[in-house]
Amino acid sequence: MTETLIVDTDLGEVLQENEEQIAREIADAIAARIQQGQRPALRDAHAKAHGCVQATFRVEDDLPPQLAQGVFVPGKSYQAWIRFSNGASDATQPDAKGDARGMAIKLLDVPGEKILSNEGETQTQDFIMINHPVFFVDDPSRYRALIDSTGSSDLLAKFDQLLAIGFQGGIIAQEITSSKIASPLETRYWSMVPYRLGDPPHKQAIKFSARPQLPARTAIRDNPTPNFLRETMIEQLAAGSARFDFEVQPRTSPDMSVENSMIEWKEADAPFFKLATITIPQQLFATPERDQFGENLSFTPWHALPQHRPLGAINRARRVIYQTISELRHTLNGTQLEEPQGVAP
C-alpha cells in the first residue's frame, strides 16, 4: 500500500517516521480485537447507529471559482445517505452517556475517478464528521499507544489511558467523550481534520462542517431511554424535514498546519462559507431493512475525488485502518463490500 505515502507538499503535508508501518500496526491490533469479538461484527468505533436516512445535497447556485470545485458544481443536486451514530465501540451504551456523535455523508452519482485504486469509477463521495472541531491526536505513534492499551480506536474506552495521548490530547478526548446531545438533527458536526479542495490554481486546504439550520429546540428527556436519540430522530422525521448548511473553512494562514489535527482553526481567523444545503426529508427510516443497509455501508474519507483528498497524518493512517477494518467486517459477516447505487432501501 505504498501509494498511501503520497503527500501534498504544496499544502504542507510532511510524512512522519514509519508512518505506514504504524498505521498497519494499528489496523492489525483493531482487527485482532474484532476477530475475537461478537457476531455479527460491528464497527470498532461508531458501532451504534441512530439511523441511516435518505437526503439530498444541493450545491449553492452561485459560488466563487475557488470554492466551485470537485463535487461543488453550482446548482447541482446529489442524492445521499447519511448515517448518524455514537462514537463508542459498545453498541449497547446508553445515549445519555457522554460520547462523540457522528454524521457520515455518502453522496451518490458522483462522476470521476476516485482516489482509492480499487474503486476506479465508483460513483460515491464521503464526508465524515463528529460533533467536535478537532481530533485528540496528531501523532500516529500516540494513536498506536492508545490502541495498544485499549485494543480499540474508540475515543478513550478508559480514561486511565490518557497518558497514551498526552495532556492536550487528554483534554480534547475528555471534551469529546463528555458530549451529550438531545437530537442528532440539531447538532453541529465538523471534519476535525483538513482536506484538499480543488485543483491548481485554486487548490487549497480546508476543513468542513454541517450546521443545522434551526437552533436546538429539543431538550434531553428526564430519565431518557437507552436509545432516546434514535427515538427523537424517528419523531422529528415523522413530523417533518431537517436541514443542515454544509460549509467549508478555507485556511487563511500557513500557521494553520494540515498535520496538526489537535489545533482548531478559529472562525474569527478563518470563516466558514456555505456551499450546499443538506435536506433530510420526512421519512420512515427505522426498519430492519434500512438498519441492515446502514450496517453494510462503509464510510471512509478516502471514498473521494482527488479534489477532496484527505490531508495530514491522521487521515493517512485512516486510509489503511478504515479499509482494513471494513474489509474484515464484511468478510466476517458474509456481506458484499460495495458502494450503493441509489436510494432504494
CATH of the domain at 71: 2.40.180.10
Q: Is 86 exposed, middle or buried (0-12, 13-18, 19+ CB in 10 A)?
A: buried
Domain that holds residue 146: 2-333
Task: Tell me how many helices (H) and strands (E) the chain has.
Answer: 6, 9
Angle subtended by helix axes 313-333 and 140-150, to nearest 10: 40
Contact 264, 134 (CB under 8 A): yes
In a domain, 66, yes or no: yes
Q: How many CA atoms lie within 13 A of 316 on its CB side?
A: 27
Side-chain half-sphere CA neighbours of 113 within 13 A: 5
As a whole number of angstroms, the distance between CA 321 and CA 29 comes to 10
pLDDT value for 156: 47
339 lies in a domain? no
Classify 18 in phi/psi space as left (phi over 0), alpha (psi -120 to 50) or beta. left
Q: What is the pTM of this model?
A: 0.94
DSSP single-letter state for residue 216: P
CB atoms within 10 A of CB 239: 8
CA separation, residue 164 to residues 161, 285, 325 (Å): 6, 39, 22
Which set of grid coordinates corresponds to residue 74?
453550482
Please report whether residue 318 resides in a domain: yes
Question: Is residue 314, in this structure, part of any structural domain at all?
Answer: yes
Q: How many domains in the chain?
A: 1
Residue 342 lies in a domain: no
Question: Is 344 a domain residue?
Answer: no
pLDDT at 5: 67
Domain contains 215: yes
- In the chain, which stretches have pLDDT less than 50? 1-2, 153, 155-157
- Cα separation of 212 and 6, whole Å? 35
Nearest to 278 by CA among 87, 130, 132, 82: 82
267 and 249 Cβ atoms separated by less than 8 Å: yes
Phi then psi for residue 175, to 5 deg, are -60, -40
Pairing label, strands 101-108, 77-86 = antiparallel
Q: Is residue 60 part of a domain?
A: yes
By the 8 A CB rule, do 212 and 185 touch? yes
